[in-house]
């Protein structure tokens, strides 16, 4: 009997009010847990998880890149120096042959210390998970967020996955985007 393994992904977006300097740490896992924040600092928390997020997928190029990395090929990894989360305003449905975001977009390196895996301080809740997080400042990516994904370069590079979901209009606020990839 063959056992089936799947990759699943969980996405969280936290939108902060404009008092960025007074917020403390936020911890993420499979579900979003806000641990230490001053009252009324968070404007909104949006979260999705498998199976509720049905508009995203690991794309063919990303899956092939992961397999080649597992094989030991010398490729650019999705590590702390080479992981970027991208957001865009494209609304074309996710397709496994896509290699980039489809609309006007902005990529930013993951926050210091990310991505993290289970067993590391602040890491995801379960083995087989990797958490990517990027904080977009008040002057960054100010447009309608309709698509997002994980990349291994700020320009070009490999897109691991692409999601299509309207997260709303970012207009000068601070937003954190977190994506957890799980092997189940």
Predicted confidence (pLDDT) per residue in 74-127, tens digit: 999 999 999 999 999 999 988 889 999 999 999 999 999 999 987 888 777 677
Confidence of residue 166 (pLDDT cuts 50, 70, 90): confident
User: Does residue 28 surpass a pLDDT of 50?
Assistant: no
Q: Give the Cα separation of 132 and 114 in Å (integer).
A: 6
**16, β-bridge pairs:** 42, 174
User: Does residue 30 surpass a pLDDT of 80?
Assistant: no
Q: What pLDDT is attached to residue 6? A: 61
User: Does residue 14 surpass a pLDDT of 70?
Assistant: no
Average model confidence (pLDDT) for the chain? 76
Residue 29's closest CA among 56, 44, 47, 16?
47
Instruction: Report whether 22 contacts 41 (CB < 8 A).
Output: yes
More confident residue, 8 or 72: 72
Q: Give the Cα separation of 76 and 107 in Å (integer).
A: 17
Residue 125's closest CA among 12, 28, 6, 48?
28
Confidence of residue 176 (pLDDT cuts 50, 70, 90): confident
Which percentage of the chain shows pLDDT scores above 70? 68
For the record, the structure tokens of 79 come out as 């590590």
Q: What are phi and psi of 129, to 5 degrees?
A: -120, 145
Q: Is pTM beyond 0.95 here?
A: no
Confidence of residue 140 (pLDDT cuts 50, 70, 90): very high
Q: What pLDDT is attached to residue 107? A: 97
User: Does residue 151 surpass a pLDDT of 90?
Assistant: yes
Residue 107's closest CA among 146, 179, 156?
156
Q: Give the Cα separation of 179 and 28 in Å (integer).
A: 9
Predicted confidence (pLDDT) per residue in 44-80, tens digit: 555 554 434 445 678 899 989 999 999 999 999 999 9
Q: Give the Cα separation of 75 and 68 in Å (integer).
A: 8
């Amino acid at each position: 009997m063959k056992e089936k393994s799947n990759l699943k992904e969980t996405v969280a977006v936290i939108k902060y009010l404009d008092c960025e300097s007074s917020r403390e740490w936020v911890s993420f896992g499979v579900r979003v847990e806000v641990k230490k924040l001053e009252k009324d600092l968070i404007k909104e928390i949006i979260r999705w998880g498998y199976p509720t997020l049905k508009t995203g997928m690991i794309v063919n190029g990303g899956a092939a890149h992961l397999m080649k990395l597992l094989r030991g090929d010398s490729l650019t990894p999705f590590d702390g120096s080479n992981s970027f989360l991208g957001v865009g305003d494209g609304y074309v449905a996710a397709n496994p042959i896509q290699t980039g975001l489809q609309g006007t977009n902005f990529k930013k390196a993951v926050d210091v210390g990310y991505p993290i895996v289970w067993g590391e301080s602040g890491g995801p809740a379960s083995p087989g998970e990797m958490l990517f997080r990027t904080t977009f400042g008040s002057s960054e990516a100010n447009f309608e967020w309709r698509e997002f994904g994980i990349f291994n370069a700020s320009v070009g590079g490999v897109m691991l996955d692409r999601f299509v979901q309207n997260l709303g209009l970012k207009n000068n606020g601070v937003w954190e985007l977190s994506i957890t990839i799980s092997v189940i």
